[in-house]
């Protein structure tokens, strides 16, 4: 006799991922998102590390037991400055690092279970958010790397 079980636990693969392009720093975007949606996203103690780099990408988290939603905002790109090794016009040089190279136009990734069109429109209404769209299905492997 075959026995089947039903697992109702939410996993990261169940979450929808929204790609956000904005000029806002991640902490300011999270501040506006908290105010707009009544969330309490806070900076995680652990950052995400890129596979082949020492760069660290900030993660903001919030788990809402009442709504049974789990929120994550992850930086996809950071800009770091280093002292210039060559004599020139600028003392420092900037270097842009990406967490996911395939999403070069994405600044932040918003992960939440139960994403709706209304929620996307509300996030897009934040000033200085240029675009937000769902993660393309061909990039679904990224969800596996966003496990915590």
SS3 115: coil
Instruction: Classify residue 101: in a domain, yes or no.
Output: yes
* 15 domain-assigned: no
pLDDT tens digits for 77-108?
998 887 777 776 777 778 889 999 899 999 99
Residue 87 in any domain: the answer is yes
The verdict on residue 3 lying in a domain is no
**For the chain, what is the domain count?**
1
- The reply to whether 148 falls in a domain is no
Whether 9 maps to a domain, the answer reads: no
- Within-domain flag for 7: no
Give the pLDDT score at 28: 97
Tens-place pLDDT, residues 49-60? 877 778 899 999
Q: DSSP letters along 33-80, please?
A: HHHHHT---EE-SS-EE-TTSS-EE-EEEEEETTTTEEEEEEE-EEEE
What integer pLDDT is reported at residue 13 of this predicted model?
A: 56
Q: What angle do CA 133, 116, 119 make, to 5 degrees?
A: 75
In terms of residue numbers, what domain contains 33?
A: 21-136
Please give the structure tokens belonging to residue 104.
Answer: 């070069």
Q: Taking 90 as the threshold, does the pLDDT of residue 112 lie above it?
A: yes
| In-domain check, residue 10 | no
Q: Which pLDDT does position 7 carry in this prediction?
A: 41
- Reported confidence tier of residue 74, pLDDT bands at 50, 70, 90: very high
pLDDT at 3: 44
Compute the distance between CA of residue 144 and CA of residue 136 in angstroms, rounded to an integer: 14
């Amino acid at each position: 006799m075959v026995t089947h079980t039903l697992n109702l636990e939410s996993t990261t693969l169940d979450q929808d991922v929204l790609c956000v392009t904005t000029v806002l720093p991640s902490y300011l975007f999270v501040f506006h998102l908290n105010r707009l949606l009544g969330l309490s996203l806070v900076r995680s103690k652990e950052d995400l590390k890129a596979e082949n780099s020492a760069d660290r990408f900030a993660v903001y988290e919030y788990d809402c037991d009442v709504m049974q939603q789990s929120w994550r905002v992850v930086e996809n790109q950071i800009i770091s400055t280093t002292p210039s090794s060559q004599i020139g016009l600028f003392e420092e040089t900037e270097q842009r690092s990406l967490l996911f190279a395939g999403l070069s136009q994405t600044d932040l990734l918003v992960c939440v279970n139960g994403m709706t069109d209304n929620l996307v429109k509300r996030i897009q209404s934040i000033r200085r958010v240029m675009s937000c769209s769902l993660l393309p299905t061909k990039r679904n492997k990224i969800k596996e790397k966003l496990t915590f």
